[in-house]
Each structure stands twice: as structure tokens, then as C-alpha cells.
Chains A and B, each alone.
Chain A
């Protein structure tokens, strides 16, 4: 907490303009605000996070409809398996590969993370 009683913004980075996800550079908890920078270190915007998001994981910076492409570094990295709201953790519980069936270990991993 800072002097105004507001939590200090945490860090995230976005790989390319137009991406639907940013990458957390701090461990995030629900209610955290993230200040998002570009690879050129320019401020891009702020998002309030609604999930716990570990360092290095993705946070949605916009709402994405079910079945829509998730864009990182200008490329589709998969499609959503459920609607995703701005500020949510984006990972194997809500996105799937466009081309490859989920790994057999996926359900176990999902449980251990969630």
C-alpha cells in the first residue's frame, strides 16, 4: 500500500500492439492493478486483475468471446474455450491450441494450478 491507501501498480509487458494478452512480471492477486509496458518500455495502459496470475503467465487486456483467437506477439496462440473478461488469467483452463489436441497431462496440470 502507498500513502493514499492504494496498492502500487504491478508490472506486465505486452509483446505487440493489438495483442489480447499481456505477460505478468510480478505475481498477481485479484484486485491488483497492472501497469502494462511495450517492449520499447512505453506505457500502454493499466488493467485491474480479477484472478491470481503467477509471474510469467498471461493476463487478458480485453474481453474475448468464446471460440475467438487469443493473440500474443501478433500471432494466434490458440482459441478460447470459454468467454474471457479483461483482467482474467489466460491459460490452459480457458484456451486451447488451434491445431493440437490437449496434452494428456492437461487435466492434472489444470488442477494443480487452479
Chain B
């Protein structure tokens, strides 16, 4: 099976060909916005990263910035810094340059002034646009794809419809030599016994357990015993009786293949197959983490309810979403059917007995291949006046 993608110098394949503008600190967001405004077609990725973070979190952020620029959906990158930042623009640009794609950086310390950064940045961004514009799509194997996964606004219908449907797409991509990544460590607290059975070996199982235990302890330091708060009252009202039942629904979107490894947040795997990535369940953090880990396409499966009615924004993904990670949205709940036009795949017919999981799974796979070949997602095709400022994961306090 094939899709039409952009071949990158490092052998990876993009499904989009964006020139991304990457501010590496929130202070540089505005300069990045001015550059993007004067170089139409470039895609700024604004950040909430600031100097008040501990070294551990600066390292996480550095890896994420490099990962965003290295993501195969970026044809080229321009890094924008202040010069006094905890994450240096030069270091991020050097990291991205390892992929051999065009990358440049500007910062106030190197270039002299705010105005110089903007002027020089605009010039560089326009040149990068010209360099990437000539690239054409070629037929590439499905095995080049890495699918990221997340479920949101989950209810009973997600367990029956979207999650098994996404599981089929996951198995399809992996059986073709590709990769898939699921995350949300917080969702696994109390359910590691289910997940460890899916681990490829003892080492993977041990790392999974350690990551979950570290997350539980971090939450406990904030004086919350999460084990005793799950499933939450809303889950129970919806019919979820135990924490293992809650986790099971989410795990089904990871299909049926063994978990080959555990990634840090934003870490790229060197091998192919199914991976678990450590991190929060917050949608923005999941999106940035998956994109930094090299996922080119993401599945966001939704139960229904008010979140489905947000239309252009499915919890923190307004403004078209993250440019380097197109999101295929699936909807499960027939009660939210009126919103189906705002989703790429509607799976609610499974609930109403009109379609099998296998049939809906096939539709999702077809949609993934179409989007990988250039079809705009629903989120991408809706123009929005709003620009997202993206959250970056942290494990320590702000200082």
C-alpha cells in the first residue's frame, strides 16, 4: 500500500511540506508572528516555554523544539530566539540540521536587534519557502507513516466505536512496517497489569511500570491520591465500574500488536512498531509530544457531548491545529451526529447497528491514506482567526 508523500534527505517521508517558524521561548513568539505575517505560507508554532523552568524541563523542551523542526512534515525550519533563552536557538537549529533539511536561525544577541531579527527572519523565511516549493509528492510505502493516537471526551460509545476502529488502523499501519504511538501515562495508573501483557519483552514491561509509578508519585506530591479518584463520578455515571475497565477502552485504540518500547515525551524511536510515549493526557501536550516524536498523522477519537460541538477546536486544537501534525478526527456518539460534518470519520453507525467495526476501520484507513497524500483534514480546511500558543510538557515546578 502506498501514499503520495514528500521524501526528506534523512529518508523520512512528510505528508505536508511546511516551512515552520519555531520560536524557542514565549518572548520570541511576537517576532515569529511578524516574520510569518510577512512570509505568507510559513507556519509559526507559538510556545509557552519560558526561562522559569528547571534543567530537566529545558532538556524536554529542547528535544521537543528539535523534534518539531525535524518532523517529516516540515520541509524547512526557521528558529527564532531572544539570545538569553534557556533553550538556545542555535542549539535547536543544529539539532534540526542533523536531518539535512534546510534550517536557519535568528536571535537578538546574534543579529543585534529586534528589528534585525524580524527583517533577517523574513528574508530567510521567503528563501526557505522558495526552496521547499519545488518539491513534489512521490509514491511512498505506508510503512513510512507514524500514527499518533489520542482519545478525548470519552464515553461508552468511544469504547464500542472509535477506539476499536482506530485500533484497526493502528494494526494496518504496523502490519505494513509503520509505527504508531499512544501516550497518556496518567490514564494507565492502576491498569499496568493490562498493558504489561502487551509488552514485547520484560524490559519494556518494567519501563512501563516505572513510568506509571513516577507519574503517580508526582501526582501524590501535589497531595492527590489518583488511584482513589478513578474512575471518576462522570465515568461511573456512564457505566464504567473500575479503573481497569476505563483504561481498557483507551488501550484498544493501540490495536493488537506488542508494545516495542517506551519513549520519553517527544522522543523519536529508532525502530518501527507500536510504542508508548510517557506524558500527560492533556491534548496540547499530547499533540506536541507526538509531533516531536516524529508522528506525521494523528487520530483523535471523540465520544461526543459538548466537546464535539466545539467544531473547529477539539479542546486546544483551534486555528487548524499543529501544522506539522494533521489530525484525523473520528466521532462515536450518534447523539452528536449533528456535528459529524466537522469530523473526518463518523463511526456512530456501529452503535446503531448499521456498520461493523471492520467496515468503519476500512473507511478510517482510506481517510488516513487520503490525508497522507494531501487531502486536507476538516481541521486544516477551516480558516480560523485564532492562533494557538502550544503547551510544552514539564515534570518539575516553575521556578
Known: A15-B160, A55-B156, A75-B194. A97 touches B238 (CB 8 A): no
Contact at A39–B233, with CB atoms within 8 Å? Answer: no
Q: Is the interface of A mostly helix, strand, loop or mixed?
A: loop
B217 → chain A closest CB, angstroms: 16
Q: Which residues of A contact B159 (CB under 8 A)?
A: 15, 23, 73
Known: A75-B244, A78-B241, A103-B229. A39 touches B160 (CB 8 A): yes
Contact at A78–B244, with CB atoms within 8 Å? Answer: yes
Q: From B283-291, B355-363, B380-388, give the one contacting chain A.
A: B355-363
Contact at A40–B248, with CB atoms within 8 Å? Answer: no
Contact at B353–A37, with CB atoms within 8 Å? Answer: yes
Q: Which residues of A contact B90 (CB under 8 A)?
A: none
A-B contact count (CB 8 A): 101
Q: Is the interface of B mostly helix, strand, loop or mixed?
A: helix
Partner of B242, one of A37, A57, A77: A77
What is the total number of residues of chain A having a CB less than 8 Å from a CB of chain B? 37
Measured CB to CB, the residues of B under 8 A from A are: 155-157, 159-160, 164, 190-191, 193-194, 227-233, 236-239, 241-245, 248, 252, 350-351, 353-358
Q: 5 A-B pairs, CB-CB below 8 angstroms?
A: A41-B350, A55-B156, A95-B241, A100-B243, A103-B229
Partner of B248, one of A23, A73, A109, A113: A73
Partner of B356, one of A15, A41, A72, A73: A41
Q: Which residues of B contact A76 (CB under 8 A)?
A: 244
Partner of A101, one of B160, B227, B236, B241: B227
B271 → chain A closest CB, angstroms: 27
Contact at A103–B241, with CB atoms within 8 Å? Answer: no
Contact at B239–A54, with CB atoms within 8 Å? Answer: yes
State A30–B378 Cα separation when bound (angstroms). Answer: 43
Contact at A90–B241, with CB atoms within 8 Å? Answer: yes
B208 → chain A closest CB, angstroms: 15
Contact at A56–B239, with CB atoms within 8 Å? Answer: yes
State A104–B243 Cα separation when bound (angstroms). Answer: 13
* Interface hub of A11, A73, A91 (most chain B Cβ within 10 A): A73
Contact at B236–A100, with CB atoms within 8 Å? Answer: no
Contact at A96–B242, with CB atoms within 8 Å? Answer: yes
A72 → chain B closest CB, angstroms: 6
Q: Which residues of B contact A97 (CB under 8 A)?
A: 190, 242-244
Partner of A40, one of B193, B233, B236, B357: B357
Q: Which residues of B contact A78 (CB under 8 A)?
A: 241-242, 244-245
Contact at A91–B233, with CB atoms within 8 Å? Answer: no
User: Quick one: closest A residue to B191, CB to CB?
Assistant: A99
- Ranked 5 nearest A-B pairs via Cβ: A56-B156, A57-B239, A77-B245, A97-B242, A78-B242
Determine whether A58 belongs to the interface, using a CB cutoff of 8 Å to chain B: yes
| Complex interface residues of chain A between 44 and 89 (CB less than 8 A to chain B) | 54-58, 72-73, 75-78
Contact at A92–B236, with CB atoms within 8 Å? Answer: yes
